[in-house]
Amino acid sequence: AQSVTQLDSQVPVFEEAPVELRCNYSSSVSVYLFWYVQYPNQGLQLLLKYLSGSTLVKGINGFEAEFNKSQTSFHLRKPSVHISDTAEYFCAVSSTSGTYKYIFGTGTRLKVLA
């Protein structure tokens, strides 16, 4: 079985400051990892994904994430946030084999302050 933990339910940060949103996962098999963003009153859209290869993954809107297998983490970072980054962010995993299911974390609400 797999699980995803997003420890921070809310993260306030000032505009132009750096931010890190944490994601830890648990799995007995290899996984693929994803970060999604949800703006108010919209569905989720893909920010970035880790499938294999380089552990540092770059996504859209200046976000990046680093896969750390030993710590089973996939934290999302941005060096300088904008007001428009205010949204909810979801980490998700899927198995490299087996079921069709994706497991989502409970989400982190990022609030960028002026």
Partner 1 sequence: DVKVTQSSRYLVKRTGEKVFLECVQDMDHENMFWYRQDPGLGLRLIYFSYDVKMKEKGDIPEGYSVSREKKERFSLILESASTNQTSMYLCASSDYWSGNQPQHFGDGTRLSIL
Main-chain phi, psi angles of 100, to 5 degrees: -85, 5
112: amino acid identity, one letter:
V
Contact 46, 102 (CB under 8 A): no
Q: Per rule CB under 8 A, is residue 104 in the interface with partner 1?
A: yes
Q: How many residues bind partner 1 (CB under 8 A)?
A: 25
Nearest to 105 by CA among 1, 13, 25: 25
Interacting span for partner 1 (CB under 8 A) from 17-25, 54-62, 71-79, 90-98: 90-98
Contact region with partner 1 (CB under 8 A), list: 15-23, 56-64, 73-81, 89-97: 89-97
Helices (H), the chain: none
C-alpha distances out from residue 33 to 19, 41, 84, 90, 109, Å: 19, 24, 24, 11, 19
Binding of partner 1 at residue 54 (CB under 8 A)? no
Under the binding rule (CB under 8 A), the answer on residue 102 touching partner 1 is yes
Is 45 a binding residue for partner 1 by CB under 8 A? The answer is yes
Among 14-22, 40-48, 58-66, 70-78, the segment contacting partner 1 (CB under 8 A) = 40-48
- Interface residues with partner 1 (CB under 8 A) are 6, 9, 32, 34, 36, 41-46, 49, 51, 90, 94-97, 100-102, 104-107
